[in-house]
């Protein structure tokens, strides 16, 4: 018998076949359906449901009471707060079967979705975007955007370390108070970090380096 390289709590159900990466942990009362794909080093809290066909990247943290329905994809390093909500049909009716009309929802690398936030299907959440607790997102969200409210509107920009960025200085730079990394709106509505590549993991130590 092949040794399992991930952890599943005895109360959880994992249907076969599915793919689960090394060092991933699946906790109490979770249900992973057949044909789901979950990357390495993920953590699924209590009572998480993952539908068949869902793709979850590496190092994804999903807190308690979250259902990831068919049509949803989470890229690497995504954080889903407790009881946040995904949908996959824009106009559900109990009497009408719409399995063939699921809308795709994509949460891109490093994005955070706060507790009790709702992501209406069809939206793309940009890289390192930050969705505040309780927000209702109805459309695409730019990279690094801070979204809050019902419906959600953009309130500013967030750093990769999870801090709200200050107003631009005289050079148009926004500096993260934790890392000191510089961010700039390189074109209207498009923010980029000037000191760290978008795809490079954060440094393992608290010491911040520039490339």
Average pLDDT estimate for 81-105: 93
Domain identity same for 101 and 148: yes
Domain identity same for 145 and 59: yes
Instruction: Tell me if residue 179 falls in helix, strand or coil.
Output: coil
Reported as a single tens digit per residue, the pLDDT across 10-61 is 999 999 999 999 999 999 999 999 999 999 999 999 999 999 999 999 999 9
Domain identity same for 69 and 51: yes
Q: How far apart are CA 118 and CA 122, in angstroms?
A: 12
Domain identity same for 148 and 179: no
Q: How far apart are CA 146 and CA 158, in angstroms?
A: 6
Q: Which of 119, 143, 158 is the last residue of a domain?
A: 158
2 in a structural domain: no
Domain identity same for 173 and 86: no
Task: List CB contacts of 137: < 8 A, sequence separation 6 or more.
Answer: 117, 118, 119, 120, 123, 125, 131, 147, 151, 152
For the chain, how many structural domains are there in total?
2
pTM of the model: 0.93
Domain identity same for 65 and 143: yes
Domain that holds residue 200: 164-211
Reported as a single tens digit per residue, the pLDDT across 168-183 is 999 999 999 999 999 9
Domain identity same for 206 and 119: no
What is the phi-psi region of residue 161: left when phi exceeds 0, alpha when psi lies from -120 to 50, beta otherwise?
A: alpha
Domain identity same for 96 and 143: yes
């Amino acid at each position: 018998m092949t040794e399992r390289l991930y952890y599943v709590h005895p109360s959880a159900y994992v249907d076969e076949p599915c793919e689960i990466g090394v060092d991933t942990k699946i906790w109490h009362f979770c249900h992973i359906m057949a044909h789901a794909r979950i990357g390495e080093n993920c953590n699924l809290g209590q009572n998480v449901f993952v539908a068949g066909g869902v793709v979850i990247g590496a190092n994804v943290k999903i807190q308690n009471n979250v259902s990831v329905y068919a049509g949803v994809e989470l890229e690497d390093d995504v954080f889903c707060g407790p009881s946040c909500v995904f949908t996959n049909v824009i106009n559900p009716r109990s009497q009408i079967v719409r399995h063939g009309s699921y809308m795709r929802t994509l949460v891109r690398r490093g994005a955070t979705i706060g507790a009790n936030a709702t992501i209406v299907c069809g939206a793309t959440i940009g890289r390192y975007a930050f969705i505040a607790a309780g927000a209702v997102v109805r459309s695409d969200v730019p990279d690094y955007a801070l979204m809050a409210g019902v419906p959600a509107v953009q309130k500013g920009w967030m750093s990769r370390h999870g801090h709200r960025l200050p107003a631009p200085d005289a050079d148009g730079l926004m500096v993260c108070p934790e890392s000191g990394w510089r961010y700039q709106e390189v074109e209207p509505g498009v923010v980029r970090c000037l000191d760290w590549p978008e795809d490079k993991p954060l440094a393992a130590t608290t010491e911040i380096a520039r490339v």
